[in-house]
Structure formats: structure tokens, C-alpha cells
């Protein structure tokens, strides 16, 4: 199928927004930023075998490609508006593209994000997405604004996606591992729920928006809590103390990893796409209200301190060292 038919196919399915003056079809898109607001831009690439298992369903790849980008906007407290999509595809496969768009556009519709352009090339399977959103000047949440004595908070639960991935890579011939690999297998709905967290992460857009004016600093957790909190500390010139027992875990993760492995998954597993943010102690009530209003629990997991690194304390108060501190692309593990 020629590239242009593919583009027509994509164009036919995108939703309209009044602020898109000119969308897919010309050399570039024309977009109207609302008066008095700043444009917030983020980009993330997903490569097969690196950012998703090779066997991932195309609709899940589509969902995840947009979700990881929206997660970056959530961490900035930005309201999403537009996106562009660069697709590198190994062959002409309209059915694959249709299924990919099912996932991509389902999430786009949830957040009223319009696909306004992109690029389509032949090559190894790789998807790059750019998202654009808006924020009022001064309201964006930055990494560099954490203050000593701030509480450290985390949205949702940690370690679910890494738990699914760990189980899948242990033994593919194991029926439980196979169930984890098949999110639609009703016999293992617990594993399926973990697997969904890997394949279909939920960008915490509403939570991020509600935290503007309450949180000091924020980041989304893509490479593991400790690695990403480390970025906040480095940018802010502070240290952090995290309490291992305070890290939020889903009931599925507790059931499948009752031992110390769970702590490693929660502290340094990747692909959570939850928010980690800091806020003054005086804002505790306000954060609880955000959690209630957005339906996403927020757990207080530690405190910002003077210093330069992230220290983790186990239940007995002893310092705890993770087996590794997150996923390092192209690096040694
Ligand atoms: P050009 O050669 O001028 O870059 P293209 O043929 O690459 O034009 O693209 C034609 C139009 O289709 C452009 O508006 C471009 O943004 C859009 N487009 C191409 N690929 C995609 C895609 N994967 N998703 C969305 N829009 C796309
Ligand atoms: Mg082009």
C-alpha cells in the first residue's frame, strides 16, 4: 500500500478541534495557541523489543506510544491538545496500522488530543510521538523546584508493569507466564491486570493539572521511582529519604510478589507512568483532596532533605540498596 493511502487512512479517523487551523495534508500543520498560555512540547520514541515486547498487540503499542507522551505533559501540569506521529514500519500492513490507530486514537479521544501530522517511513518498527499542550505562565511543574522538608508523593501504584515483565521473561513455557503474556486470559485475571499496566499505562493528566499550585516539583516515573526521583533531586540540588514500606502496591503485585522482589519492582522497576511529586507539609490536605477529586490515590512515600542523593529506608530503619536503579537504555544493567 502506498504511503499516501496510509496517510489518507490516518487522516480519515482523526478528530477535529477548533484550534487546528490546518491539520494532516499540507507540508506542516497550523495551530492556534490560546491567548495567554504557553505551549508545552514533549517527545518520546518506542522501539520494538526495547520499549515493548515484540509480541505486543498493535492496538496496545498505539495506546502506549501516546500514553508515555501524555504522561510527560501530566508531569508538567499541562493540558494536552495536539500530537504528531512518526511511524517507521517494516512493511505495508494496513491491518496493523488500523489496529495501531484503534489504541492510539482511543486514548487521544479520551483526552481530546488531535493528531495534526507526522511522517511515515520504511524501517525497523519504531514509533515517535510529539505531544503539545498548554499551561498558564508560571503554573508548569518543574523538576528543579523541590524544597528541603517537602513531602514526596507518588500517584497510583508502583511496580505493576515491571512485575508483569519480570514474570514474562522468567519462563515463557510456564502457563502462568503465558497468562501474563495474554491479558485476555480470564483464568489469570490478576496477571492480566498487571499486564494491562505494562501495555496500557494511564497518563495521570487530571492529577497533574490539579496539582498545579499545590506541588512544588514533579516528574513522571518511566525508568523507576528511584531513578526518576534522582532526577528531581539533581535538578533541585537536594536529597531524598524514601520509606520502602510506604511505596504503594496493587493487591495483584502483593499477591504475586509477596517477598523482597516486590520492593525492587516498586522502587526501581520501569514503565509505571505514575507521577512523583513534592509538596510542602502544609499541602497534605490539598493533595488528599486532589486524590479524591481525580479518583487516583496519592501515597506519601518520603521527604526531601539536604544532600545530593536518594536514600531508601527499610521498615527497621536500615538503609536499603536496590538491586538496580531503573532501566538504563543502551547501558549495562
Ligand atoms: P512531506 O514530504 O511534505 O513531509 P509527507 O508525505 O511526509 O509530506 O506527509 C504528508 C502529510 O501527511 C503531512 O501533513 C504529514 O504531516 C502527514 N503525515 C504523514 N505521515 C503521518 C502519520 N504517520 N501520521 C499523521 N500524519 C502523517
Ligand atoms: Mg514528511
Q: Does the pLDDT at position 329 exceed 60?
A: no
Q: Ligand 1 center to residue 7 CA distance, Å?
A: 7
Ligand 1 within 6 A of CB of 115: yes
Q: How far apart are CA 29 and CA 85, in angstroms?
A: 12
- Rounded average pLDDT over 77-90: 97
Say which residue the cell 509538596 belongs to. Answer: 279
Q: Ligand 2 center to residue 134 CA distance, Å?
A: 25
In this structure, are residues 104 and 111 in contact, taking their beta carbons and an 8 Å threshold? no
| Nearest ligand for residue 25 CA | 1
Structure-derived torsion over alpha carbons of residues 9, 15, 21, 23, reported in degrees to the nearest 10: -20
Q: How far apart are CA 75 and CA 276, in angstroms?
A: 8
Please count the CA atoms within 13 angstroms of the CA of 49 that sit on its side-chain side.
3
99-147 per-position pLDDT tens digit = 999 999 999 999 999 999 999 999 999 999 999 999 999 999 999 999 9
CA distances from 307 to 147, 230, 232, 258 (A): 11, 12, 13, 33
Ligand 1 within 6 A of CB of 24: yes
Closest Cα to atom 22 of ligand 1: 118
**Grid cell locating 173:** 513455557
Ligand 1 within 6 A of CB of 23: no
251-285 per-position pLDDT tens digit = 999 999 988 899 999 999 999 999 999 999 999 99
**Grid cell locating 45:** 520514541
Which pLDDT value is given to residue 330? 42
Secondary structure tally for the chain: helices H, strands E: 11, 13
Which pLDDT value is given to residue 185? 57
Ligand 1 within 6 A of CB of 174: no
* Residues composing the chain: 333
178-231 per-position pLDDT tens digit = 555 555 555 568 889 999 999 999 999 999 999 999 999 999 999 999 999 999
Which pLDDT value is given to residue 1? 53
Which pLDDT value is given to residue 333? 34
Which pLDDT value is given to residue 332? 35
Closest Cα to atom 16 of ligand 1: 117
CA neighbor of 143 nearest in space, from 69, 217, 222: 217
Which of 3-17, 31-45, 218-232 is least confident? Answer: 3-17
| Nearest ligand for residue 115 CA | 1
Pocket-testing residue among 1, 118, 122, 126, ligand 1, by greatest number of atoms within 8 A of Cβ: 118
Which pLDDT value is given to residue 207? 98
Q: How far apart are CA 86 and CA 81, in angstroms?
A: 17
In this structure, are residues 320 and 241 in contact, taking their beta carbons and an 8 Å threshold? no
Closest Cα to atom 5 of ligand 1: 119
The ligand 1 atom nearest the CA atom of 25: 14
Q: Ligand 2 center to residue 108 CA distance, Å?
A: 22
Ligand 1 within 6 A of CB of 10: yes
Which pLDDT value is given to residue 223? 95
Which pLDDT value is given to residue 306? 98
| Nearest ligand for residue 3 CA | 1
In whole numbers, what is the pLDDT of the chain averaged over residues? 92
142-177 per-position pLDDT tens digit = 999 999 999 999 999 999 999 999 888 765 556 655
Amino acid at each position: 500500500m502506498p504511503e499516501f493511502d496510509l496517510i489518507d487512512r490516518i487522516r480519515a479517523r482523526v478528530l477535529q478541534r477548533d484550534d487546528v487551523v490546518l491539520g494532516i495534508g499540507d507540508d506542516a500543520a497550523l495551530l492556534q495557541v490560546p491567548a495567554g498560555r504557553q505551549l508545552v512540547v514533549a517527545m518520546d520514541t518506542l522501539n520494538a523489543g526495547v520499549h515493548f515486547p515484540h509480541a505486543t498487540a498493535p492496538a496496545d503499542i498505539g495506546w502506549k506510544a501516546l500514553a508515555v507522551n501524555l504522561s510527560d505533559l501530566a508531569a508538567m501540569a499541562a493540558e494536552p491538545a495536539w500530537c504528531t506521529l512518526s511511524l517507521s514500519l517494516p512493511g505495508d500492513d494496513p491491518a496493523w496500522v488500523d489496529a495501531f490507530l484503534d489504541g492510539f486514537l482511543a486514548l487521544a479521544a479520551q483526552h481530546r488530543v488531535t493528531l495534526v501530522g507526522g511522517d511515515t517511513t520504511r524501517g525497523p518498527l519504531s514509533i515517535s510521538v510529539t505531544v503539545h499542550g498548554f499551561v498558564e505562565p508560571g503554573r508548569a511543574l518543574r523538576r528543579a523546584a523541590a524544597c528541603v522538608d517537602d513531602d514526596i508523593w507518588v500517584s497510583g501504584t508502583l511496580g505493576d508493569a515491571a512485575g508483569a515483565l519480570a514474570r514474562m521473561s522468567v519462563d515463557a513455557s510456564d502457563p502462568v507466564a503465558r497468562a501474563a503474556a495474554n491479558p485476555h486470559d480470564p483464568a489469570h485475571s490478576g496477571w492480566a491486570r498487571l499486564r494491562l499496566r505494562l501495555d496500557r499505562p494511564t497518563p495521570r493528566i487530571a492529577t497533574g493539572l490539579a496539582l498545579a499550585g499545590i506541588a512544588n516539583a514533579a516528574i513522571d516515573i518511566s525508568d523507576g521511582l528511584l531513578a526518576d526521583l534522582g532526577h528531581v533531586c539533581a535538578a533541585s540540588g537536594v536529597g531524598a529519604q524514601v520509606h520502602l514500606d510506604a511505596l504503594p502496591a496493587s493487591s495483584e503485585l502483593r499477591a504475586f510478589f509477596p517477598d523482597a522482589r516486590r520492593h525492587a519492582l516498586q522502587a526501581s522497576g520501569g514503565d509505571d507512568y505514575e507521577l512523583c511529586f513534592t509538596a510542602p507539609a502544609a499541602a497534605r490536605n490539598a493533595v488528599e483532596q486532589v486524590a479524591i477529586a481525580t479518583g487516583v490515590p496519592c501515597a506519601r512515600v518520603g521527604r526531601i532533605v539536604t544532600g545530593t542523593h536518594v536514600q531508601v529506608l527499610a521498615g527497621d530503619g536500615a538503609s536499603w540498596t536496590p538491586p538496580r536503579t531503573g532501566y538504563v537504555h543502551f547501558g549495562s544493567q
